[in-house]
Amino acid sequence: MTDQGGATPEGGPGFLDLPTAYGMPPARGVLRAAPEDFRVEEVLGFEPDGAGPHVILTVEKRGANTGWVAAQLARAARVDVREVGCSGQKDRNAVARQAFTLPWPEREPIEPCLEIEGPGFRVVGAARHGRKLRPGSHRANRFELRVTRLAAERRAVEERLGLIAGRGVPNYFGPQRFGRSGSNLARAREWAAAGVAPRDRAARGFALSAARSTLFNAVLGERVKEGSWDRLLPGEAVMLDGRRSFFRAPGIDATLVERCAAMDVHPSGPLWGRGESPASDAALEIEARAAAREHGLCMLLDAQGLDHERRSLRLPVRGLRWSFDDGDLSIAFELPRGSFATAVLHELVVEAWSDESGSGD
């Protein structure tokens, strides 16, 4: 069963129109009445080396974006901001903990790092490390969210949460990927139509990312409508859980069906770019229909030299727990890197997020 999700108009271009997997969300409420209502903690998945020419910092930030914090750390360490490493972007309007690296002479003690702080951020941990953090080097993100002014039947919310815990949710790119009021996607469409690229390098990158995300969401939306977002189709490019690798499956046998049910593997969709899709048959037909409706964006991505990649259509929501308190709902869960808390909320709550909520890069 599918239906339309819901949120306030700030939810991003087209995001509110993306079909939901389990029907209309059973709750209404307000998310992020205060930054403390949205907490995210980066999970690196490895321990600091304990030695080396860098220091890895755990930073807690509130009301500050990741790029601005990186610039403040660079100023404190008297290094170029390009020498500051981090694994992913975290929400500004939230309380977030994430890791950064700074180059730090091995002969110098690291204790002064613990004194670095500024408006909206502070260093809460430091350890020696051998290398600079690169984008995408963390394993997951843990979220703790509080929905206030909840209007819902408790039983209906718990039934929906049970479905989410057992089956996951469609792995949509969240609305913040498209920029405030859809500005990144608008730039991509203008670029595709007029052939004139944004002057700023960062703006070009954001535009291309928005174009890719739009195409992926379109394919996933089609799979949700027909009920195949969490099952394998003939010709599927099958994604391994927690990895970026995949294999082609011209036919779907009983073993693959069992592995998919156990969330060991997932159906995948395209991150558009040069090269042919590894999908075929029924899976490829859906991708081709979505691509035909966005021919201009496809041509733009091909022309800019991005290579075709794959992304899981299904998002496992692990460690999901919840509680009710004085009319509010608290939920906590872990998502793999590159996924969005808004994809979970899309199935659960109407009018629950803002233009920049739910970042899990």
Which residues are tagged catalytic?
91
DSSP character at residue 305: T
What is the rounded (10 degree) CA torsion for 3, 6, 9, 11? -100
Q: Residue 185: which of 166, 162, 208 has the closest Cα?
A: 208
Give the chain's end-to-end CA distance (angstroms, integer). 29
What is the rounded (10 degree) CA torsion for 144, 97, 334, 128? -150
- Which residues does residue 100 pair with via DSSP β-bridges, in sequence order? 57, 86
Q: What is the spatial distance between Cα 267 and Cα 229, in angstroms, rounded to a whole number?
A: 7
Q: Which residues of 110-143 are buried (b: 16+ CB within 10 A; e: fewer)?
A: beebeebebebbebeebbbbeebbeeebbebbbb
Q: Are 299 and 189 in contact (CB under 8 A)?
A: no
For 327, the token pair is 């009319």
Q: What is the spatial distance between Cα 95 and Cα 39, in angstroms, rounded to a whole number?
A: 5
Q: What Å distances lie between residue 12 and 29, 66, 153, 170, 346, CA to CA?
A: 18, 21, 27, 17, 12
Q: What is the spatial distance between Cα 244 and Cα 236, in angstroms, rounded to a whole number?
A: 15
List, in sequence order, the alpha helices (H) in the chain.
Answer: 66-77, 154-167, 183-194, 201-226, 254-261, 281-293, 295-303, 341-345
Residues 6+ apart with CB under 8 A from 159: 26
> Phi and psi of 321, rounded to 5°?
-145, 160
| Total residues belonging to the chain | 361
